[in-house]
Every structure is written in C-alpha cells, then in structure tokens.
Amino acid sequence: MARPMGLFTNRRIDRPAPPGPAEMGERDGLAYALWLPEGTPEGGIVIVHGAGSAKESHFDFARAARSNGLASVAYDQRGHGASAGDFAGRVLEDVETMASLLPAGPLALRGSSLGGYVALLAAGRLAADAVVAICPAGAEQLRRGLRTGSYDFRVDAAAADAFLAEHDLGLAVEQLSTPMLLLHAEGDEQVPVEHSRELLAAARMEPRRLIAVPGGHHRSIQHDEELQGEALRFIARAFAAARRRGAPD
C-alpha cells in the first residue's frame, strides 16, 4: 500500500542542544566565551575572529577543541560584537588578556583573516606553543581597507593604521619561534594564497606547514571539520612537544 503523502511532515525530532560555553563574561571591556573540557585541559587556545565577525562564529571550533580535551576562549575584538571601544592599537594586549582566562598549561592561538594576522603577531609576544592562521591578512591589505572605508565595524582609523604600519607580518613570522600552521583556500577572493606561501618561505621555525586547499573562498576553511581536525592535531603535537621540553631530566 502506498504511504500517504505528508505522513511525517509534522513529525518533530527533539535532539539535545550541544552544551554551550562554561562561562560568558567580560574582561577589560572584552566580551568572551570560555570553553572547558571535562577534567584537566591538555592546554588552551585563544580564538581570534576576523574583520566584521564575532566570537559566536567560531563556537564550532571551540566545541571541537573541547571534545579533544582542550580549553579555549573566543572573544569579540574591540569594535565588534559586545566588546567596548573601537578597533585600534590594543589588539596584542587584548590577546594577552584573553590568554590569562585560560587554565595553566600550553597555549595556542588560532585566528582567521584579520584574526590570523593578530594571532601570528601575538604568538611571539606570548611565547605561544602553537599558532594556526587561516587565510591570514597582511598589514598593507588591512591598511587599504582602512583607507577605502570598507570595514563595517567600529574602528579608530588613525590608531589602527599606525599599529598596522608598525607591525609587518613577514618580519614577525621570520622572527617567530612558535610552531606554525597556515590554512588557505586557493580560491580565496580576498587574501591571495600567495600571501601564505610567502609567509611560509619567510618562516624559520620548525615545524611549519601550509595546507593550500583547491578552490574554496575566503570563509570556506574556517568551518571545515576536516581542517579543524588538522588544526587540532597540529596543536596537540605542539603541546606534547612543549610538555616534553618542560619535563625534568
């Protein structure tokens, strides 16, 4: 007998919502979400979003990190979301503030686009144990955005331009001693993949790696589960190496 059409159209399947962050709060004007795994974390990650985005856009990665025994904190950069003030010259201090919310242990930074630029700069300042940058923007590209007024977030253009002029990403990466993973879509229409290739060539640290993905676009990699897994495995290996270095002889 044929099944009546629409038999299941009103059927409701209730699934439990995935657990949210352990803590939502504000520190020094920065709105944040802190994610903690069960038990003692194997380390922590500061998650830095891109221009015009917000912390909530990266909750999927925070959940994946938690499932792998890692703590993480995602926050709204200044000028974005619920954080106070304009985007200006305090970005590195803000990363340091967010890192202080994480439990003691190895530290990684993970950023995308503008956040990738910030994460790579902050990695040296914080002596991070790993850094993952997704389609990281360059200072000159970010300065062009300021000049053309293309940003849709609150920004102190003069202060931000002065900061960007002072912090060249190629030089920062050349001096970096933190293990670095770059992820970039070859079809990125905003930040050419050649930029990540140049950063890889400038880097001297080990390990360093670039995964260039065919096709895609500027935002396609951020939420790719397979590439999130690659990032988490890279971080886990870096944390294991950090613990070995810190073990007594």
Name the nearest CA neighbour of 96 among 105, 83, 109: 109
> What is the pLDDT at residue 4?
43
pLDDT digits (tens, 9 = 90+) for 88-117: 999 999 999 999 999 999 999 999 999 999
Residue 21 reports pLDDT greater than 60: yes
pLDDT digits (tens, 9 = 90+) for 226-239: 999 999 999 999 99
Beta-sheet strands, E only, within the chain: 23-27, 30-35, 44-48, 71-75, 107-112, 130-134, 180-185, 208-213
pLDDT digits (tens, 9 = 90+) for 192-220: 999 999 999 999 999 999 999 999 999 89
The larger pLDDT score, comparing residue 141 to residue 3, is at 141
> What is the pLDDT at residue 225?
95
pLDDT digits (tens, 9 = 90+) for 134-185: 999 999 999 999 988 888 899 999 999 999 999 999 999 999 999 999 999 9
- For the domain spanning 23-241, the CATH number is 3.40.50.1820
> What is the pLDDT at residue 17?
55
> What is the pLDDT at residue 10?
47
Per DSSP, 135 falls in state S
Using DSSP's 3-state secondary structure scheme, residue 110 falls into strand
Residue 15 reports pLDDT greater than 60: no
> What is the pLDDT at residue 249?
55
The DSSP annotation for 8-60 comes to TTT-----PPPP--SEEEEETTEEEEEE--SSS-S-EEEEE--TT--GGGGHH
Residue 65 reports pLDDT greater than 80: yes
What's the whole-model pTM score? 0.91
Domain boundaries, the chain: 23-241
Give the percent of the chain with pLDDT over 90. 87
